[in-house]
């Protein structure tokens, strides 16, 4: 079934932008690459394009596989494909790795053409606004004037919201899932702990660890463990692991409980794959995003020029981006008399629910997207 509905074998592509991009920080990237994938076919009028914005540790590899043997399809493969809720028979779907990322787009580990060495610490701090601006350049490059929809969960939802603010004429529908109009102090605090773990790791070397042929593994491990706790609900962790012992109690600091084994496994895996400089930049982008700031904290005012239609979805057990935060977005949209549909999905998985093939959740997406005109 999943094979039949798969977008099949996919390949990533690179768009090179030989033009300076001025970032929100004031820094300028003289040139940059964006790596992306596409699924489905762009129609003649170029009106059926859907942009997927990824979250903290996401990538451009959203659907499909790189080879028949590939056991790890794209991260939203359960959602995207022929006949799936985001139907590639209808839509032309684009996944892109964000600037500052570590999966092919220009980022801290990329070679700085000026020095012929990795950017490292010198790679600028990028923001949600910068990502959206660079994604707009990718749309230009692909000849797409207007997206039928921009879709994102979590930090991806923030990009979607920013799309509706920055480019109202270029986005028809905004699907904002498990997201928020900004981070709470608690969320920012978790980010700070993760960053401090990375930055104080002796092998971080101020961000220039590439030159030392090491990575700040210890810090990345802690950051990832912490992430996993906040992505899952207390109940979901309880259901998955509870207080189950791995073996008999040893009265030690080695793995005693199954949950510890899970966290350490996830931590080790992540620390071997993800770039620490990217991680600290992604969390900073989360911290900084707050479109209401320029409007004295008034989100409704921040959304005054928005014209897109919205679908906002939250999950009951998501304590990182709680339903309450989604309702703030909905309220601000309604203040502007914008068309918005809102669903609060009963789900046990916490923040991670937005990645899961929950039947109710997918039915909502399928129904909404089936009515999107292309």
Q: Annotated catalytic sites, by residue?
A: 154, 318, 351
Tokens of 231: 């992505």
326: nearest Cα among 316, 335, 336 = 316
39, β-bridge pairs:
93
Contact between 238 and its own copies by CB under 8 A: the answer reads yes
For residues 93 and 86, is the Cβ–Cβ distance under 8 A?
A: yes
- What mask of x and - would describe binding to its own copies in positions 310 to 349, judged by CB under 8 A? ---------x------------------------------
Contact between 66 and its own copies by CB under 8 A: the answer reads no
User: Closer CB to its own copies, residue 20 or residue 297?
Assistant: 297
Give least dist CB 182 to its own copies, A.
6
User: Closer CB to its own copies, residue 66 or residue 241?
Assistant: 241
Contact between 137 and its own copies by CB under 8 A: the answer reads no
Q: Compute CA distances 34 → 15, 27, 54, 136, 286, whole Å.
A: 5, 18, 13, 11, 20
Tally the residues of the chain. Answer: 374
Contact between 114 and its own copies by CB under 8 A: the answer reads no
- What mask of x and - would describe binding to its own copies in positions 241 to 280, judged by CB under 8 A? xxx-----x-xxx--xx-xx--xx--x------------x
Give least dist CB 61 to its own copies, A.
28
For residues 109 and 210, is the Cβ–Cβ distance under 8 A?
A: yes
Contact between 99 and its own copies by CB under 8 A: the answer reads no
Give least dist CB 201 to its own copies, A.
7
Binds its own copies (CB under 8 A): choice among 5, 13, 15, 27: 27
Binds its own copies (CB under 8 A): choice among 55, 155, 222, 330: 222
* Dist. CA 30–CA 28, nearest whole Å: 6
Binds its own copies (CB under 8 A): choice among 190, 209, 231, 354: 190
Give least dist CB 280 to its own copies, A.
6
Q: DSSP characters for 137-174?
A: HHHHHTT-SSEEEEEEETHHHHHHHHHHHH-GGGEEEE
What residues contact residue 50 under an 8 Å CB cut-off, 6+ apart?
86, 91, 92, 93, 94, 147, 148, 149, 150, 151
Binds its own copies (CB under 8 A): choice among 61, 284, 309, 349: 284
45: nearest Cα among 135, 141, 139, 145 = 145
Tokens of 201: 């790791």
Contact between 124 and its own copies by CB under 8 A: the answer reads yes
8-state DSSP, 105: S
Contact between 51 and its own copies by CB under 8 A: the answer reads no
365: nearest Cα among 57, 160, 86 = 86
Contact between 186 and its own copies by CB under 8 A: the answer reads yes
What residues contact residue 353 under an 8 Å CB cut-off, 6+ apart?
178, 315, 317, 318, 345, 347, 361
Residues that bind its own copies (CB under 8 A): 24-27, 124-125, 127, 182-186, 188-190, 192-193, 195-197, 199-202, 218, 221-222, 225-226, 228-229, 232, 234, 237-238, 240-243, 249, 251-253, 256-257, 259-260, 263-264, 267, 280, 284, 287-288, 290, 319
């Amino acid at each position: 079934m999943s094979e039949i509905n798969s977008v099949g074998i996919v390949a990533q592509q690179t768009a090179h932008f030989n033009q300076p991009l001025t970032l929100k920080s004031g820094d300028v990237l003289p040139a940059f690459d964006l790596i992306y994938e596409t699924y489905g076919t762009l129609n003649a009028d170029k009106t059926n394009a859907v942009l997927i914005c990824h979250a903290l540790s996401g990538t451009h590899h959203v659907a499909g596989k790189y080879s028949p043997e590939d056991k790890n399809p794209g991260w939203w493969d359960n959602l995207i494909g022929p006949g799936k809720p985001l139907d590639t028979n209808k839509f032309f779907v684009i996944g892109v790795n964000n600037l500052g990322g570590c999966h092919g787009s220009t980022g801290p580990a990329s070679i700085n053409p000026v020095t012929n060495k990795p950017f490292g610490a010198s790679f600028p701090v990028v923001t949600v606004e910068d990502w959206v601006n660079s994604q707009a350049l990718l749309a230009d490059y692909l000849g797409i004037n207007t997206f039928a929809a921009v879709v994102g969960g979590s930090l991806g939802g923030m990009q979607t919201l920013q799309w509706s603010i920055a480019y109202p004429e270029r986005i028809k529908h905004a699907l904002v899932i498990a997201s928020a109009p900004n981070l709470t102090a608690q969320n920012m605090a978790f980010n700070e702990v993760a960053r401090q773990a990375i930055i104080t790791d002796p092998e971080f070397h101020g961000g220039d660890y590439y030159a030392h042929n090491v990575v700040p593994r210890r810090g990345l491990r802690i950051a990832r463990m912490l992430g996993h706790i906040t992505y899952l609900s207390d109940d979901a962790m309880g259901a998955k692991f509870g207080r189950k012992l791995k073996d008999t109690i040893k009265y030690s600091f080695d793995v005693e409980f199954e949950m510890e084994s899970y966290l350490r496994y996830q931590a080790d895996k992540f620390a071997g794959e993800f770039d620490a400089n990217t991680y600290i930049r992604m969390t900073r982008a989360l911290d900084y995003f707050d479109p209401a700031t320029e409007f004295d904290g008034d989100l409704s005012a921040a959304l005054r020029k928005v014209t897109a239609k919205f679908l906002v979805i939250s999950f009951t057990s998501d304590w990182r981006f709680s339903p309450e935060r989604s309702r703030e977005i909905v309220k601000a949209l309604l203040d502007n008399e914008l068309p918005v549909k809102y669903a609060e999905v009963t789900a046990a998985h916490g923040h991670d629910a937005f990645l899961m093939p929950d039947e109710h959740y997918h039915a909502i997406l399928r129904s909404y997207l089936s009515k999107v005109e292309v």
